[in-house]
Amino acid sequence: MMNVPSLLLFDLGGVLIDSSVFQHLNRLLDKPLETSALKARWLSSQSVLQFESGAMTAHEFAESFIAEWGLRQRPNAFLRVFASWPRYFHPGAREVLGILRTRYKIACLSNSNPLHHQRFSGFADVFDLALFSHQLGMVKPDPEIFAVALRECRVEAGEVYFFDDCLFNVYAAQSLGMSAFHVDGFDALLAVLNRQGLVPGNRAVNPDFEALENG
């Protein structure tokens, strides 16, 4: 049986925030990829890893990414498009976090970069602590970034429930002793929150959720 958590730790893009990264990126490729292949390539991209760990400027990233991926765009044009890929909190996400925050400490741990952080930073008020990879100098799934998150949040691994849409990140969190859940989208997150009894009274927090649960 899992421990009752004192901290709920969330990824942002693909969990709480609607992101169009893979849809827009595929449109820039000469040969579009299946989403799973595109996501795997993105996660292993050296340009992305360096930018999201704070090791590159935006212009350096654009030049490197364009060369790595064989895109037909100029750096400035690419950066304008790239900056728009994270879009908005899923409808109901702020309300859910507000409910959860009455019972638990809540934080986010996101792979990010200076351009996307400008869009994410306005969301930080809904968390007790907001942690971003480019500010920490490391990216998920590096176990060290999870160790840093534990220190920053002043909790032990066994006190944490972690939610992410990337299985590699879930496995890394589990390796440190966190209870980690793979949630591919906000509806999947709602399902896990309800199954784990994390919502007060174990009630659905979305009017459509009961239909979702009951299939």
- Residue 122: the pLDDT is 65
Statement: 7-18+89-214 belongs to CATH 3.40.50.1000: yes
What letter represents residue 174's amino acid?
A: Q
Which residue ranges does the chain devote to CATH 3.40.50.1000? 7-18+89-214
Fold exhibited by the domain 21-84:
DNA polymerase; domain 1 (1.10.150)
Which residue ranges does the chain devote to CATH 1.10.150? 21-84
Tell me the per-residue pLDDT of 135-172, one tens digit each, with 9 for 90 and over.
Answer: 999 999 999 999 999 999 999 999 999 999 999 999 99
| Cβ contact 12:120 at 8 Å | yes
Q: What is the 3-state secondary structure (H, E, C) of 152-208?
A: HHCCCHHHEEEEECCHHHHHHHHHCCCEEEECCCHHHHHHHHHHCCCCHHHCCCCCC
Would you say residue 176 has pLDDT above 90?
Answer: yes
Which residues partner with 88 through β-bridges? 18
Mean pLDDT of the chain: 89
Q: Which of 94, 159, 90 is nearest to 149 (CA)?
A: 159
- Residue 204: the pLDDT is 47
- Residue 166: the pLDDT is 92
Q: Which of 121, 176, 114 is nearest to 145 (CA)?
A: 176
